[in-house]
A and B are shown apart, each in its own frame.
Chain A
Amino acid sequence: MPLMKTYLIDDDDLGIYLTEQLLRAEGFSNTICTFQSATEALAVLMREKDAAAPTVVFLDLNMPLMNGWQFLDALAPYREELRGHCHIYILTSSLALADLERSREYELVSGLIHKPIDRGEIRAIQSQLVNEAGQE
């Protein structure tokens, strides 16, 4: 397993703790960075995107100040740079179909997962990443 950095963006501290523990339980990532605000995550991502962009981003939708969609919109100018390196998964408690449909409009979004993330979903992401790495 290569070095893999993961961002966890969620305003809910319980949610962050839970997701982090679930990922660790599956040995998902070496480095997990957690952010309780999307603006903060955006600032760090801008700084790191060239040298140390995260491989996977778990993004909550419903957050104050900047929500998940606004975060994705802010990334749109860097679409080309991030594609292939940075896989964004929306991790939301919402079951609304509208969110799923909207997520398909974003090229950088690799998938939408309903909270809580389970073992099967984590493994599916892992195998997808391995496949992509093998193709390159």
Chain B
Amino acid sequence: MPFELSRTTAAFVLNERGELLHATAGLAEWLGEPPGQFTEARLLELLRPADPAHTPPPLEYAASGGVVGYKVQVVLRGEVLLLWVTLLPLPGVAGPRAGVYGLVKPASSDAATNTALLERERYLSIIFNNIADVTFVLNVEAAGRYRFGFVNQAFEKTTGLSVEKVVGSYVHDIIPEPSLSLVLEKYHEAITTGQRVVWLETSHYPSGRVVGEVSVTPVVDDTGTCHRLVGIVHDQTQQKEAEEELVASNERFHFALKATTDALYDWSVVADTLLWGEGFETLFGYQLPHNPTPFDYWGDKVHPEDYQRVVAGLRKIALATDTFFWQKEYRFARADGSWAVVFDRGYLLRDEQGQPVRMIGAMQDITERREAEELQQQMARKLLTQYTDLQQFTYIVSHNLRAPLANALGFANLLTRVDKQSTVFDDSLKNLQTSLQKLDGVLTDVNGILSVRDRQHGYRPEPVALAAVCRQALHGLEELLRECGGQLHIDIPPELRILGSRAYFHSIFHNLISNAIKYRSDARPLQINISATTSPAQDTTIVVADNGLGFDQEQAGDNLFQLYRRFHPDKPGRGIGLFLVKAHVESMHGQVTVESRVNEGTQFILYFSLYAADENLPD
């Protein structure tokens, strides 16, 4: 059946089953197809009136013998084109319904009636090309093939593929694997279910990686056949990246939380609850009954002496000031009942009115640091005491060393000036000798004292049987004791041993006993009692008590144990005994105190702690 139409008119012929028999070359050209390759899918476009309300379906109408004309819109190179289609029944050889003859021409000349429709299309086109989401229309062809019928500008922008290249191309030529298999499966799903299908897809385009939420909606005609798919890709690349960054940052935060030993918290001021990080349980040994806890769960564990300053103080800072930062150091109860020293700092979040909303903070356990500082202070105090002692020692030694020397110098001078036959000469000579002997005595003392100090460094404690040492110390003094009619009673458990030096304990007992004998009272027979007791904590207390002269404790003050201090001018003595007792006791990490009443007696109390003997404080 030969016919040719002008460039402005194209035609096609369908058989009685609606299948394409022939189409003019111009038709394919209009529709952007290679000449002679007019396809069934494009044909279907031409049989679908632009006005959805158009009845009856034109193909059926024409096939049944009617003539029908209608407008059709096709998408061509991104542009919407209106065509006017006329369908005529084709009289057949065998019967009245041999086929349908279709005439197609541009509908632009038909301006008046088309204006509204064109206008609507224009708006839609503007919308499509300006929305940020990628929008495309796929024509569904046979054998599971999909051809791009329309794509918007966003498509080009997002994928980097030009509209010209994409429209008219098959999906399998545009979308690379592995995405291709996925989308084909999804398209198929949309067509078979007739439902919108949504999925998340990551594709690699010339423009880079694109993460999008893809939705494909099947466009179904009256017969339930799906000719087209409308797809929208919502670009989520940035959200996705932001989300991934958030996940990473959360992960970092999570690990930071694990790495920190602090107890982090979030105080919701309105609800008055505290949300705890996991550090709280590890740090203080609690098992949180629930999380968040009421505010008082924390407040009740603050040391009662710190409560006002810390808990009430925090509420005041939060509610009555506009401060953002809060920090305090306080004692906080651990689960085992011990006290932790805590450094707590928080940041207050406030609303526009300045009202507190939340406080984020961290509790830090600084107990060890505090203890180390305390130890350091103790050492400093000890050093200061030793320094003062040393200064005093130097002063006293210099004074007492020089006193007999000054006398010796004086007598030597006097001897040159007095008559050799006088008694003054004889006395002076004798006194010169005595002064030199005294000088020698002081030097001997100093030597002894210095050796005690020196030995402290190499001192190794050994268990000393106290009762045995005490009896040995008594040996040289028994005669003196008997002469004055005194009695000595030792009440030390024979098995009692103290870590220390045997020689030091010997010297201590010897000095204390000889002091008791020397300063006895003539008004009553001397009674000396030596006892030692050990507490359950393994601390040992030794008491040496007498009923002698005693002394005025108030007057003696701190001077009793000082070198060359003497309290009984009428009794002979060098004032070195108690100094040595103190030096020996302290070099074994003990303490010595004294209690005395005039004319009643004196008792020396020596205290040794088991742990002090091992103490690592430098001496």
Contact = CB atoms under 8 A, between A and B. Distances in A.
Contacts of B370: none
Most chain A Cβ neighbours within 10 Å, of B406, B411, B565? B406
Majority SS at the chain A contact face = loop
A14 B407 contact: yes
Contact of B418 (A21, A36, A94, A117): A21
Contacts of B406: 15, 93, 114-116
Given A17-B431, A95-B402, A115-B403, A11 B418 contact: no
B555 interface: yes
Contact of A18 (B395, B407, B575): B407
A5 B407 CA distance: 23
Contact of A115 (B407, B431, B565, B569): B407
B448 interface: no
B410 A94 contact: no
A51 interface: no
A12 B395 contact: no
B569 A36 contact: yes
B373 interface: no
Given A14-B407, A17-B431, A18-B431, A65 B424 contact: no
Nearest to B409: A116
B418 A17 contact: no
Given A14-B431, A21-B428, A96-B398, A64 B569 contact: yes
B403 A25 contact: no
A110 B564 CA distance: 28
Given A18-B411, A18-B414, A18-B431, A93 B403 contact: yes
Contacts of A22: 410, 413-414
A93 B410 contact: no
B414 A94 contact: no
Contacts of A103: none
Contacts of A63: 569
B567 interface: yes
A94 B569 contact: no
A80 interface: no
Contact of B402 (A14, A19, A37, A93): A93
Interface in A28-43: 36-37
Q: How large is the interface on B (under 10, 10 to 19, 20 to 34, 35 or more residues)?
A: 20 to 34
Given A93-B399, A94-B399, A17 B427 contact: yes
Contact of B555 (A14, A65, A114): A65
Nearest to A92: B399
Given A21-B414, A96-B399, A64 B565 contact: yes
B17 interface: no
Interface string B402-423: 1111110111011001100000
B134 to A, nearest CB: 96
Contacts of B413: 22, 116, 118
Interface string A80-119: 0000000000001111101000000000000000111110
A62 B562 CA distance: 13
A88 B427 CA distance: 28
Interface string B584-603: 00000000000000000000
Contact of A116 (B407, B566, B575): B407
B195 interface: no
B569 to A, nearest CB: 5
A96 B428 CA distance: 27
Nearest to B400: A62
A56 B424 CA distance: 24
Nearest to B410: A116
Nearest to B565: A64
A12 B399 contact: no
Contact of A64 (B409, B428, B567): B567
A114 B402 CA distance: 10
Interface string B552-582: 0001000000001111110000010000000
B357 to A, nearest CB: 65
A15 B407 contact: yes
13 contacts: A11-B569, A17-B427, A19-B410, A62-B400, A64-B565, A64-B567, A65-B567, A92-B399, A93-B406, A95-B402, A96-B398, A115-B406, A117-B410
Which 4 A-B pairs give the minimum distances between C-beta atoms?
A116-B410, A115-B406, A64-B566, A93-B403
Given A18-B428, A94-B398, A98-B395, 16 more contacts: A14-B435, A15-B406, A18-B410, A18-B414, A22-B413, A25-B417, A65-B569, A93-B407, A94-B399, A95-B398, A115-B403, A115-B407, A115-B410, A116-B409, A116-B413, A117-B410
